[in-house]
């Protein structure tokens, strides 16, 4: 039962992840990304940690992607016309990065055992909070919040200067 659900969700996540890149319309891409995030949240739920699953939905699908869509609609972004990336250099770069990507995926695939993990892990709200506030993660955690604050202030400063 769990395995069937896992493969369905994994297929959904991968298919919509491909759609994110393949779509021509930015709003379509955003919607596909929401589907990916929701499928990932389902996988976390299957691993026996509803808290992480719910966080995934609240933070990514519910908050960040709503802002994305808001901005896309506010700017009224149109469907992309034609192929933006032509030219010889771009083609060579694409080839190189494509090869690198395939090599990476191959390296991971050969080492991984392809079975869904069924060992539940402790991820209640209390466990996650304990982890975050442990000395080894605390500094990184706090530094991230300072970074986000700096980005916010920077965005405000830029917006003010234009007025």
Which residues are near another protein by CB under 8 A?
Answer: 27, 31, 34, 38, 50-51, 54-55, 57-58, 61-63, 66-67, 69-70, 73-74, 124-125
Decide if 58 contacts 85 (C-beta within 8 A): no
Burial of 72 per CB tally in 10 Å (0-12, 13-18, 19+): middle
Closer residue to another protein in complex, CB, 93/155: 155
Minimum separation from the CB atom of position 32 to another protein (A): 12
Considering the complex, what minimum distance in angstroms separates the CB of residue 115 from another protein? 22
Q: Pull the structure tokens for residue 17.
A: 């992840």
Of the pair 99, 149, the CB lying nearest another protein is at 149
CB 79 within 8 A of CB 42: no
How far is Cα 109 from Cα 114, in angstroms, rounded to an integer? Answer: 8
Pick the closer one to another protein by CB: 104 or 124: 124
Rounded to whole angstroms, the Cα distance separating 142 from 139 reads: 5
Q: Which is nearer to another protein, 10 or 55 (CB)?
A: 55
Tell me if residue 78 falls in helix, strand or coil: coil
CA distance 137 to 50: 22
Report, in Å, the least distance between residue 73 CB and another protein: 5
To another protein, the closest distance from the beta carbon of 62 in angstroms equals: 3
In the complex, the smallest distance separating the C-beta of residue 9 from another protein, rounded to whole angstroms, is: 16
Judged by beta carbon, residue 66 or residue 94, the one nearer another protein is 66
């Amino acid at each position: 039962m769990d395995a069937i659900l896992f493969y369905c969700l994994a297929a959904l996540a991968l298919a919509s992840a491909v759609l994110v890149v393949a779509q021509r319309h930015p709003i379509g891409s955003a919607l596909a990304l929401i589907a990916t995030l929701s499928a990932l949240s389902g996988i976390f739920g299957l691993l026996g940690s509803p808290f992480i699953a719910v966080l995934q939905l609240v933070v990514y699908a519910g908050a960040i992607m709503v802002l994305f869509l808001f901005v896309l609609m506010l700017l009224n972004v149109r469907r992309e016309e034609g192929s933006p990336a032509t030219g010889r250099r771009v083609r060579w770069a694409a080839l190189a990065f494509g090869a690198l990507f395939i090599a990476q995926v191959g390296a991971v695939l050969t080492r991984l055992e392809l079975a869904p993990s069924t060992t539940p892990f402790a991820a209640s709200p209390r466990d996650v909070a304990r982890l975050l506030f442990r000395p080894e993660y605390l500094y990184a955690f706090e530094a991230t919040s300072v970074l986000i604050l700096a980005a916010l202030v920077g965005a405000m400063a830029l917006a003010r200067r234009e007025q």
